[in-house]
Structure 1
Amino acid sequence: MTLCEGIELYKSKRLLYRAAENNEEDKTFLQHDLFKDNACQLLGSARLRRPAHAGSAEDAVKSFQSVLLGVIICLRPDTATNSEGPESPDTPAQKNKPVPIGFVSLSQQGPEFAHHRSATLAISLRGGYRGQGYGGEAINWALDWAFEQAGLHRVGLTAFSFNHRALHLYKKLGFVEEGREREAVQHFRVWHDIVILGMLESEWEKLRGFTPEATVVTPSFSSELGSE
């Protein structure tokens, strides 16, 4: 067997990751299942909460296609039929098709900042698929991609201080709290912090069990660490 045989670049235990396409299927998914979801609006962005206009999904697809990594998270066909989500596939054609449940992205400030080898991670899951470990599985996959494929040195993310569930997950996955923007977000007339977290390449290596003397690195895309 060669080094490349058996490697699943764009799959993990229950999920697969594909490019976002500027077609009706992806735009409908983003518009109706994510951007109109209350939890996504309340927890995913500090932007003023307003109804998503018709062009929001197309703008998002363009953004996913321009950042370092922007992929649609899908349930693999062999796991989608057992989903507890709101729209489990029921026809034979649907059962053989991956079910989109969210997105994960890694973005950088621009080409002039690339030498810092740092990126910001963002993730969102549709209602009915949260709390089942899919978020942790997708983040672990994105971290493996970031450090194994993109050669990054640091991956950061942020969360609102009232989003206790997300903060618990991120720290469980190995992210370290690095600081806070104090009272930077107003949530129903109460001020909250933006929590800044990060993971360094050396911390990821320790989590995956890599040692300094290792000469061959085994790809980690099938990692199941930290699922929640």
Structure 2
Amino acid sequence: MSPPAPPRDPFRSARLIYRAVIPADDSVFAAIDADRIGYINSNASNIKLPGPADAERFRKSVSEELLGAIICLPSTFPPPSTTGSNSSRTSTPGPAPPPIPIGQIHLKGSSQNHRHHRNTELGVDILPLYQGKGYGGEAIRWALDYAFRRAGLHKVRIRAFEWNEGAVRLYERIGFKHEGRERESLWHEGRFWDGIEMGMVEREWWELQREEREKEGAPI
């Protein structure tokens, strides 16, 4: 009889680590706000230049949500090196450097009188240096697993601005369904644009898990 598989760390995905938000993360949120294109694409207050107070408020709001996490890349342990070719002594590596923050992800909490609806809204930001590598999609899929498998939620919503076509395509690939458009509600670059509302319910997510496991030949 083969030994049981080691328990899976619920706060890791294939390439990423997720940790709690701490006060020292104001610098992470300031870096997110400093991404001018990202800020324009995700904030309705995008005619304002954000400052340190905005980063602090952003950090506090994420830390108080149902789920608020810093998205990190793991740091590799430095390889040991010899002290000299004629010496049998080797230097042992010191403590591994901490994971590298690359963004944030959160699921909004509900007020006490709205929790029975079991739904939430997802928000995510990836720092510019790490964009285009699939980290945002991986983090969203991890948050969906958290929402449906661990937190017992029924629905996850996500929003996008019409001009942010890349985000809309990503959400579609992940499996979010279009649910509505708030027509001409956003002024941007000299014209009005729609706000796009998308969502996923638990049965859709479980069906996606079944399809993925079938492709892998593994039971769900």
TM-score, scaled to structure 1:
0.80
- Which residue number in structure 2 is paired with residue 199 of structure 1? 200
* 1:110 counterpart = 2:108: no
1:62–1:181 distance in 2 versus 1, CA, 3 Å:
same
Decide which structure has the larger Cα Rg and report it.
Answer: 2
SS across alignment from 1:128: helix
Structure 1 position 27 matched with structure 2 position 50: no
- State the alpha-carbon separation in 2 of the partners of residues 44 and 188 from structure 1: 14
* Large movers: runs of 4+ above 2 Å: 92-97
* Partner SS for 2:52: coil
2:61 match: secondary structure: helix
Deviation of 1:2 after TM superposition, in Å, equals 5.9
Bigger RCO of structures 1 and 2 (CA < 8 A, at least 6 apart): 1
Question: Secondary structure, in 3 states, of the residue corresponding to 1:7?
Answer: coil
SS class of match (2:172): helix
**SS at structure 2 position matched to 1:209:** helix
2:136 alignment partner AA: G
CA distance in 1, matches of 2:53, 2:10: 31
AA matched with 1:114: R
TM-score calculated relative to the size of structure 2: 0.83
- 2:55 matched to which residue of 1? 57
Which stretches in structure 2 are left out of the alignment for 5+ residues? 78-92, 212-218
**How far apart in 1 are the matches of 2:163 and 2:96?**
37
Paired residues, number: 196
**Equivalence for 1:164:** 165
Q: 3-state SS of the aligned residue for 1:51? A: coil
Larger CA deviation: 137-146 vs 121-130? 121-130
Aligned-pair identity in percent equals 37
Is the Cα contact below 8 Å between 1:41 and 1:49 reproduced in 2? Answer: no
Superposed CA RMSD in Å reads: 2.2
